[in-house]
Structure 1
Amino acid sequence: MNDTWDNELTLISHTPYSSTSTGVRIPSEATKNVILAKKRPVPGIEFYQAGQSGITITQLFVVHPFEYNGETELEFEGKIYKVVRIYQTSDDEMELSCEMKVGKKNGN
């Protein structure tokens, strides 16, 4: 198993809309943070349990907790993923279980 911090991914957070003085909502820019992570295979049990809820876990990344700030999306190898589960395994590591987002960016 590749247990090294050599997978670059971009954590993406979306801030709420801002409003002009006349009340027009303006979408805010996404904030991106590039970090290094470990990529691990998705355990079979997690894959099947998520599938029972209609979720398809396609990637599992391990990140440092101090680098993760509740982002709901990430980009890895040009694909956008939604973070569906977070699990802190130790003081130094946190797992992010992700599913691929459907949309033009991912060729869907």
Structure 2
Amino acid sequence: MTDVSPVLARVRAVALLLPDVEERTQDGHSFVVGDAAFVRVRDGENGAAVVQVLDDVHHWADVAIGADTDWTLVEDRIAHSWELAAPRDLLEAGGR
């Protein structure tokens, strides 16, 4: 088993609480709902992890992760990204 970065562990814990999410490990770690990825964790420069979420126009946006990261804000961004990617019928059924 490979070591998991603290950032990936934290993102995984948040993402997998959302309905119908699965983790994929192609080209880093992606979390998907239906067939759509909504959060990705990748290796960045100097070994730092890069977290990406969907923005309101469905482009990938980097989320800054550092020693003073506001994880409540990051969790909200992950949840919002899930809402953007989730199939309509899942959202209509109550989503999160």
TM-score class, shorter-chain normalisation, is: under 0.3
Larger helix share, 1 or 2: 2
TM-score between both structures, scaled by the size of structure 1: 0.23
Larger strand share, 1 or 2: 1
TM-score between both structures, scaled by the size of structure 2: 0.24
Determine which structure has more spread, i.e. the larger CA radius of gyration: 1
